[in-house]
C-alpha cells in the first residue's frame, strides 16, 4: 500500500507508538523506510549550525537514534531503512526531506522535547512542528500519539508445518538425523548435500530457516550464507560447526547468520533453539496493521475530498467499514443569529444527503455506506463519534476556522483531534501522489 515511508523521529520514549506503527507498516508494505530527525538549534544559535557537523554532534545523535530504534527494527525485521539527522528547524527540515525523497506517507508523534518538560500541549499549538507539517505536506501525515493503544492486531499462527526448514550438510547421516528430529516436531524439512544444491532449492521454493554446515566441499557454509541472504533477504540462517571453527561461525553471525550450533549437539538443545526461532518468526509474522473502522471527518472542502480518496483506499485495502462524519457548529450563525432546533435538524439532514451524494459510489447500497452529522464543537464531536464507533483510524483534512487567537491557541481541528484520539489520525490536504511544495517555511 505504501512504497516509501518517512518517519519523523526523536530518540524519546514518547515516539514509541509512532515508531512501532512506522516499522509495522514498512514491514507489511515492504516499503522503504527513512528515519529522519531534525534537532533544534535554539541552544546553539544560528551561527553555530555550520559547526555542528564538524564538531561531531550530528553523528553522535545519529548513533543515539540507531541505538534507540535498533531493537524495535530488529523485532519487526525491518532491514530496508536509513537514518538521517540534520540540524535546523524541525518542521522546515521534515518538509525539505519529504520534498527530496517524495514519501507517500509521513508518520509523526506528539514528541517534542516540551513533553519532557511537562508541557504536552505545546506540540499541538498553532505554528508548532506538527501544525506546520500537517498544513504543508503534500502526502498524508499520520500522527500516532502515546495514547494509541491499538497499533496492530495479532493473529496467532500455530501450525508448525507452515515453517519450512532447509538442512545443508555433506554428511548423509547428519542430514537424515536432523530431518527426522525436526519432522517429529511437525516442521516441514528438506535437505541438501552441498551449497550448490541448497541454492537451487532456495530458488525453487521459499524456506524460513536454513541450518548449514560451515565446512563443506565446493561452496562452504559462509559463502552459502552470503549468496542465500542476497537471494532470500528474509531467510534465517543458523550455522553448524565443529568446535575448531567456532570463530568462523561467530564471524558469520556478523555478516548475517542468526546463531550457530556446535557439533556434536544434543537433539534437545537443537530442537529448543529451532523452536525459539520458530516462536520469534511467528511473533513477527503475526504483527499486521489492521484497521476495521475508519472515519472520514469532512467539512466538504476540496482537501476533504482528497482525504476521502485516501480513506476509501485504506478502507478497501483493509476491508474496513468507512464512516463519513460531519460536524455543524452549534450555537449561532454569524449571519442569521441563533440557530433553532428545527433549522439545525434540517441542516443535519442536508449534510447527510450531501455526504451520500458526494461520497457514495453508484455501486454501493445505502446500507453499505455509513454517514452521520452532529452539531457541536468539531474536534470534540469527532472524538466522541470515534469512541462511539470504536474507530481505529481517523482521516481528515487540515483546516481551522478559528479567528479568535484565544480559541486558535491549540491549532487546527486535526491537531486537536490528534492530541486526544485513542487511534492514529491522518491529515490529508492534497491528492495522494502530489509532490511536496518548494516552500519550506
Query: Is residue 111 scored above 80 in pLDDT?
Result: no
Residue 46's pLDDT is 42
> Which tens digits make up the pLDDT trace of 71-83?
888 888 788 899 9
For residues 263-273, one letter each, b for 16 or more C-beta atoms within 10 angstroms of the residue's C-beta and e for the rest, the string is eeeeeeebeeb
Query: Is residue 392 scored above 50 in pLDDT?
Result: yes
144: left (phi over 0), alpha (psi -120 to 50) or beta: beta
Task: Look up the pTM and report it.
Answer: 0.70
Region 141-165: what's the mean pLDDT? 75
Lookup: cell for 19? 515508531
Higher pLDDT, 27 or 123: 27
| CATH architecture for segment(s) 160-285 | 3-Layer(aba) Sandwich (3.40)
Q: Which helix (H) or strand (E) holds 353?
A: helix 341-359
**Which ranges constitute the DSSP H helices of 257-327?**
267-285, 302-318
- The size of the chain, in residues, is 441
Higher pLDDT, 247 or 134: 134
∠ at Cα 308 (341, 344), nearest 5°?
Answer: 5
Mean pLDDT of the chain: 81
Residue 352's pLDDT is 92
> Which tens digits make up the pLDDT trace of 257-289?
888 888 888 888 888 899 999 988 887 777 778
| CATH architecture for segment(s) 4-153 | 3-Layer(aba) Sandwich (3.40)
SS3 324: strand
Residue 152's pLDDT is 60
Lookup: cell for 355? 455526504
Residue 263's pLDDT is 82
225: left (phi over 0), alpha (psi -120 to 50) or beta: alpha
Query: Is residue 127 scored above 60 in pLDDT?
Result: no
- Cell 474507530 belongs to 391
Instruction: Count CB atoms within 10 A of the CB of residue 55.
Output: 11
Least confident segment among 35-39, 140-144, 156-160: 156-160
Dihedral (CA of 74, 79, 80, 86) sign: positive
For residues 321-353, one letter each, b for 16 or more C-beta atoms within 10 angstroms of the residue's C-beta and e for the rest, the string is bbbbbbbbeeeeeeeeeebeeeeeeebbeebee
Least confident segment among 95-104, 294-303, 329-338: 329-338
Residue 45's pLDDT is 44
84: Cα within 13 Å, side-chain hemisphere: 18
Of all residues in the chain, the percent with pLDDT exceeding 70 is 79
Residue 242's pLDDT is 78
Higher pLDDT, 157 or 286: 286
Higher pLDDT, 15 or 382: 382
Q: What is the DSSP string of 26-85?
A: HHHHT-EEEEEEEE--TTT-GGGHHHHTTTTHHHHHHHHHHHHHHHHHHHTT--SEEEEE
Residue 125's pLDDT is 47
Query: Is residue 149 scored above 80 in pLDDT?
Result: no
Instruction: Give yes or no on whether 4-153 and 160-285 have one common fold.
Output: yes
Residue 336's pLDDT is 56
Interatomic CA distance for residues 430 and 288, integer angstroms: 27
Q: For the structural domain made of 293-427, what CATH number should be given?
A: 3.40.50.620
Of all residues in the chain, the percent with pLDDT exceeding 90 is 36
Query: Is residue 439 scored above 80 in pLDDT?
Result: no
Region 248-256: what's the mean pLDDT? 73
Question: Would you call 380 exposed, middle or buried from its count of C-beta atoms within 10 A (0-12, 13-18, 19+)?
Answer: middle
| Confidence category of residue 334, pLDDT binned at 50, 70, 90 | very low
Residue 60's pLDDT is 86
Lookup: cell for 124? 499541538
- SS3 breakdown of the chain: % helix, strand, coil, rounded to 5? 45, 20, 35
SS3 182: helix
For 304, list phi and psi in degrees, rounded to 5.
-65, -30
Query: Is residue 212 scored above 80 in pLDDT?
Result: yes
Dihedral (CA of 250, 252, 253, 257) sign: negative
Query: Is residue 299 scored above 80 in pLDDT?
Result: yes
Residue 440's pLDDT is 33
Residue 198's pLDDT is 94
Closest listed residue to residue 290, CA positions, set 322, 257, 323, 320: 320
Domain assignments of the chain as residue spans, ordered by start: 4-153, 160-285, 293-427
> Which tens digits make up the pLDDT trace of 412-435?
788 889 888 989 999 998 875 544
> Which tens digits make up the pLDDT trace of 5-54?
999 987 666 788 899 999 999 988 889 999 999 886 544 444 444 545 54
Residue 258's pLDDT is 83
Kind of pairing between the strands at 332-333 and 321-328: unpaired
Interatomic CA distance for residues 370 and 389, integer angstroms: 11
Amino acid at each position: 500500500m505504501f512504497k516509501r515511508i518517512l518517519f519523523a523521529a526523536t530518540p524519546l520514549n514518547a515516539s514509541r507508538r509512532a515508531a512501532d506503527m512506522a516499522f509495522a507498516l514498512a514491514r507489511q508494505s515492504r516499503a522503504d523506510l527513512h528515519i529522519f530527525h531534525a534537532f533544534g538549534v535554539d541552544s546553539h544559535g544560528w551561527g553555530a549550525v555550520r559547526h555542528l557537523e564538524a564538531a561531531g554532534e550530528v553523528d553522535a545523535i545519529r548513533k543515539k537514534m540507531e541505538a534507540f530504534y535498533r531493537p524495535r527494527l530488529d523485532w519487526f525485521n525491518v532491514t530496508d531503512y536509513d537514518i538521517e539527522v540534520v540540524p535546523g528547524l524541525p518542521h522546515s527540515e521534515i518538509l525539505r526531506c519529504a520534498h527530496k525523497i517524495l514519501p507517500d506517507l509521513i508518520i509523526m508523534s506528539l514528541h517534542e522535547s516540551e513533553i519532557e518538560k511537562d508541557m504536552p500541549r505545546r506540540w499541538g499549538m498553532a505554528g508548532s512542528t506538527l501544525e506546520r507539517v500537517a498544513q504543508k505536506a503534500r502526502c498524508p501525515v499520520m500522527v500516532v500519539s502515546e495514547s494509541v493503544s491499538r497499533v496492530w492486531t495479532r493473529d496467532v499462527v500455530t501450525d508448525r508445518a507452515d515453517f519450512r526448514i532447509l538442512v545443508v550438510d555433506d554428511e548423509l547421516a547428519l542430514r537424515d538425523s536432523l530431518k527426522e528430529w525436526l519432522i517429529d516436531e511437525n516442521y516441514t524439512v528438506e535437505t541438501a548435500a552441498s551449497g550448490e544444491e541448497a541454492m537451487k532449492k532456495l530458488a525453487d521454493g521459499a524456506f524460513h530457516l536454513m541450518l548449514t554446515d560451515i565446512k563443506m566441499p565446493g561452496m562452504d557454509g559462509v559463502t552459502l550464507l552470503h549468496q542465500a541472504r542476497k537471494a532470500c533477504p528474509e531467510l534465517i540462517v543458523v550455522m553448524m560447526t565443529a568446535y575448531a571453527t567456532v570463530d568462523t561461525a561467530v564471524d558469520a553471525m556478523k555478516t548475517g547468520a542468526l546463531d550457530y550450533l556446535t557439533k556434536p549437539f544434543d537433539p534437545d538443545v537443537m530442537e529448543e533453539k529451532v523452536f525459539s526461532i520458530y516462536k520469534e518468526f511467528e511473533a513477527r509474522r503475526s504483527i499486521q496493521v489492521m484497521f476495521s473502522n475508519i472515519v472520514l471527518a469532512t467539512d466538504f472542502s476540496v482537501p476533504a475530498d482528497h482525504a476521502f480518496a485516501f480513506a476509501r483506499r485504506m478502507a478497501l485495502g483493509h476491508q474496513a467499514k468507512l464512516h463519513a462524519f460531519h460536524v455543524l457548529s452549534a450555537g449561532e450563525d454569524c449571519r442569521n443569529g441563533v440557530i433553532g432546533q428545527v433549522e439545525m435538524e434540517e441542516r443535519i439532514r442536508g449534510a447527510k444527503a450531501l455526504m451520500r451524494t458526494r461520497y457514495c459510489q453508484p455501486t454501493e447500497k445505502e446500507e453499505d455506506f455509513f454517514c452521520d452529522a452532529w452539531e457541536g464543537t468539531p474536534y470534540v464531536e469527532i472524538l466522541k463519534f470515534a469512541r462511539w464507533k470504536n474507530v481505529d483510524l481517523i482521516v481528515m483534512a487540515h483546516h481551522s476556522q478559528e479567528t479568535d487567537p484565544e480559541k486558535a491557541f491549540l491549532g487546527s481541528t486535526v491537531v486537536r483531534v490528534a492530541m486526544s484520539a485513542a487511534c492514529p489520525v491522518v491529515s490529508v490536504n492534497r491528492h495522494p501522489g502530489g509532490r511536496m511544495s518548494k516552500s519550506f517555511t
